[in-house]
Structure 1
Amino acid sequence: MPQTLSILWGRWFAAIAIALVGGALAPLTVWAQLSPAIRDPFLSDPELTEPRDPLLPDLPVERRLSPLEKSALRDELDGLAAEAEQRYLEGQTDLAFAIWIREVRLRRILGYEAEIAALQRVGLRAWENSRADEVQLITLRLRQIQADLLAADPLDIELLEEIAAAFEILRDIDSAIAVYETLIVRAAQTNDRAERQRLLENLASLQQNWFRFPEAGKTYQTLLTSLGSNRDPIKEVEYLRGAIRNFQDAGDLRTAINYQQRLVRLYEETLQPRLIPPLTLAIARNYRNLDDLSQAQTFYMTTYSTALAQRQTDVASDALQDLADIYEALGRSEDVLYLYEQRLAVERLSYNGYGLMQTFDDLGQFYEAQGEPDTAIAAYKEALILADHLDHREAYFTLRLQQLLLNQGRLTLPPLEQHQASRVRALQKPEPWKGNSRIP
């Protein structure tokens, strides 16, 4: 390559490096603030614009590189990427990113697949290091590629999904979602139902992973609708669970309940009864959180009976405890005591020592709140026996009992004089020792 072109390239590369170093410490800015001196050279075609990079061969006429020349360039760029990585590990971050930007620009010559992979790799580094200018450059180039790919016929779906993945790496979730929405529209236009369903699943996963819960819930609604009359129980369960999970996380409990009840019916139709009690317990808790106590009580009782019939004692016990909390808040003490008796019976049925211990603890606290210390003491004693057997929480129950007994005057502390009389005598002056002999 002629010396003048090499000098021009060196000056341009130095300008880019200086500009990026200066911008690295600045906060993320809007696109309009990115200097054209940085933006335009990076977005230009490296094969056809000047100054020409020294890694490119000196050609007598303007033309694209041959396959052999591209293969040689690929090796050179791999070396450039390795050099940037080494500089980065040595702490020369600014120089490393200047080299990476140069490498990414030249990868364009090798085709979209190679370029997008490089944009993803360098984009991740740029985002991790809060490199505002590099993130903007990479985003702008991704949008150029996206526009080119969308203009092509047929669409390269795989590359467009890689574009979406690159946007996700840069935390530009709106752009990633927009890619999928465009692809979904195209799939619908071509009546490719399988492809549309796959893209919707990917979109729902993307939205959910980035906490777009209302949007993810709606995408699962669309997926459920897409099943139509050709029911696929496995897919239907998957989409119902996705809708429930996302509407629940979004705080839309009414909609979550609707899909939970629909899932209960599906489990009944597909003869999966063991999956129903945990689901009806979740429905009961949603109604409770909505202050719809009538519906909550109905579903708690349904959960208890069905769980007990299937010996799902943990679910039955949880339903009883939640229901007891409701009745206690309503001042229905007799109902609370009845539910605790049932809960004790359930825990005994399953030989659950820890569950029994916790139930006696809850029962003791209930009696304390009711002003019945004797009955509370009896409950705590039962809990202490179990705690001692399980070697778990003995100190807690001992303290509970001591406090109650002390309050009743049934546990007395020795008077201060007795403590003073029983004290160990004061320490005398220590006797000196040397080796194994006491010094007289």
Structure 2
Amino acid sequence: MPNSLAQIGLLKLGITAAFWLVTTSGASAQTTLPNLLETTAPDNNNSEFSLDEFTENSQSLPLSPVKQSISAQERLRLDSALDELHAEAAAQLEAGNANQAFDTWYQELRWRQELGQLEEVRALGRVGEVAWQENRQADVQRITQRLKSIQQEVIAEGNPSLLHALGKAYQQMRLPKQAIAVEQQILAQARNRGDLKAQEAALQTIAKQHLGWFHYQKAAATYEKLLELRSSSDSSSQTVYLQKLAEIYDKSAQPEKAVRIKRRLAENYRQRQSTKPLAALKTSLASDYETLNQPNAATQNYREAFELAWSQQQVATASKALQKLGDIYYRYRQPSFALRIYTELLKAEQQSGDSYGMMNTYDQMGHIYLEQNNYSEALQAFQKGQQIAQSLSYKEAYFTAQLERVHQQISQNN
């Protein structure tokens, strides 16, 4: 007995199919679709199974349509019934009956073939995504194999809609290699047509796939192509690609390339009069120059970052730029300049209420004063740091030890 409205609907469609006619050589013949509900889905543990073989060997819907065309009314009825079948499978999965759910989904997939390859591919991607989420590897393999079979069939004709559906299905199933291969075919078609918009869309998808799977080198190469594609047009698109490239080169630790891209991005911001993100960009650029052991370029960019951030009341960014600037002067043995910078940093941290930052800045200043044998200033810096530490209940013992160290130095020099 059928156990759902969807199955009842499919049975009715099976009965209706008995009156469908297949025309061959001008003659008519009557054929009947077997009862779909007599067939069960395969055992998920059988890794040798393929969806094609299952459909061919079952007593259900054959791979090729039973009739040459389906009327609009018939398509609507079938589509509606299959939507109900899909909803039933989802409910079965929600109830914890995963095997039963996939039995139902396999019935849906076999019937979707009757609506054409596009509808089938969309359904395969949807069910395949669930299989991936549920870690049903055998089902993932079966559905993947069916997608590959369809892909082989459509390579020559290159149906754009079907290719896009295949690419999306592979993405849903977390198969980046296959998804990218399809997008490469879409890209080649777009280039042959001279369709820049379609080229850009395909390259964007390829880049996102590479980036999503941490293939930074390939992602960067693709975004560089996108940047070249938009080199003489919309600056807002260039902004997005430059931002992505800066992100990739940061994550992949390529400071030289990061500097090249960030300088272009800074110019792009200026051209678009978008000054708000400039301070953070300048800070990041300065950090790259530090990594490349170019202190002069680093200090210049930190100064510019501070000025931009301060003028726009971006206090946190301004504080970070000053801290980094002071650290450079200290590292390159210019303590007087470092102390001046740290003094300005204290003002910014006080304004933003950054107690932790103030505590660390007093600590750094205390060490510089101690190295200069300026014990009174060292004591004052460590005492202020200790007061903040006590209010935070953090690093109290550390500042007590620093104060004892200063007193010992004073005793040794008296």
Whether TM exceeds 0.5 here: the answer is yes
Rate the CA distance shift 1:224–1:70 in 2: closer, same or farther, 3 A. closer
Rate the CA distance shift 1:140–1:247 in 2: closer, same or farther, 3 A. same
Identity of aligned residues (%): 26
Q: Which residue of 1 aligns with 2:45?
A: 22
What is the one-letter code of the residue matched to 2:105?
A: W
Q: Which residue of 1 aligns with 2:59?
A: 51
Which of 388, 396, 404 is the equivalent residue of 2:394? 396
Give the conservation status (yes or no) of the 8 Å contact 1:358–1:383.
Answer: no
**Once the 2 structures are TM-superposed, how far is the Cα of residue 188 of structure 1 from its aligned partner?**
0.8
Give the conservation status (yes or no) of the 8 Å contact 2:326–2:341.
Answer: yes
Q: Does 1:116 align with 2:128?
A: no
Structure 2 distance, partners of 1:362, 1:281, is 19
* Structural RMSD (CA): 3.6
Q: Does 1:41 align with 2:53?
A: yes
**Once the 2 structures are TM-superposed, how far is the Cα of residue 191 of structure 1 from its aligned partner?**
0.8
Q: How many residues align?
A: 373
Q: Where in structure 2 are the equivalents of 1:152-301 lying within 5 Å?
A: 152=157, 155-157=159-161, 159-229=162-232, 231-301=233-303
Give the conservation status (yes or no) of the 8 Å contact 1:146–1:163.
Answer: yes
Rate the CA distance shift 1:164–1:368 in 2: closer, same or farther, 3 A. same
Structure 2 distance, partners of 1:378, 1:363, is 9
Structure 2 distance, partners of 1:192, 1:142, is 27
Q: Which residue of 1 aligns with 2:361?
A: 362
Larger Rg: 1
3-state DSSP of counterpart to 1:22: coil
Q: Does 1:338 align with 2:336?
A: no
**Once the 2 structures are TM-superposed, how far is the Cα of residue 189 of structure 1 from its aligned partner?**
0.8
Give the conservation status (yes or no) of the 8 Å contact 2:124–2:143.
Answer: yes
Give the conservation status (yes or no) of the 8 Å contact 1:160–1:179.
Answer: yes
Give the conservation status (yes or no) of the 8 Å contact 1:9–1:51.
Answer: no
Q: Which residue of 2 aligns with 1:324?
A: 326
Give the conservation status (yes or no) of the 8 Å contact 1:380–1:400.
Answer: no
Q: Where in structure 2 are the equivalents of 1:66-145 lying within 5 Å?
A: 66-67=70-71, 68-145=73-150
Can you list the C-alpha shifts for 1:146-189, whole angstroms capped at 9, x where unaligned?
A: 33444336x334x4222212111211011111111111111111
TM-score, normalisation: structure 2? 0.76
Structure 1 distance, partners of 2:170, 2:132, is 11
Rate the CA distance shift 1:192–1:331 in 2: closer, same or farther, 3 A. same
TM-score, normalisation: structure 1? 0.72
Rate the CA distance shift 1:308–1:79 in 2: closer, same or farther, 3 A. closer
Q: Which residue of 2 aligns with 1:146?
A: 151
**Once the 2 structures are TM-superposed, how far is the Cα of residue 387 of structure 1 from its aligned partner?**
8.2
Structure 1 distance, partners of 2:120, 2:381, is 71
Give the gaps of 5 or more residues in structure 2: 1-14, 19-31, 409-414
3-state DSSP of counterpart to 2:393: helix
Can you list the C-alpha shifts for 1:327-363, whole angstroms capped at 9, x where unaligned?
A: 3344443332222123235556xx33326x6235322
Give the conservation status (yes or no) of the 8 Å contact 2:359–2:389.
Answer: no
What is the one-letter code of the residue matched to 2:285?
A: I
Rate the CA distance shift 1:175–1:97 in 2: closer, same or farther, 3 A. same
**Once the 2 structures are TM-superposed, how far is the Cα of residue 262 of structure 1 from its aligned partner?**
1.1
Structure 1 distance, partners of 2:311, 2:116, is 63
Structure 1 distance, partners of 2:231, 2:136, is 47
Give the conservation status (yes or no) of the 8 Å contact 1:304–1:319.
Answer: yes
**Once the 2 structures are TM-superposed, how far is the Cα of residue 377 of structure 1 from its aligned partner?**
4.2
Structure 1 distance, partners of 2:231, 2:256, is 23
What is the one-letter code of the residue matched to 1:51?
A: Q
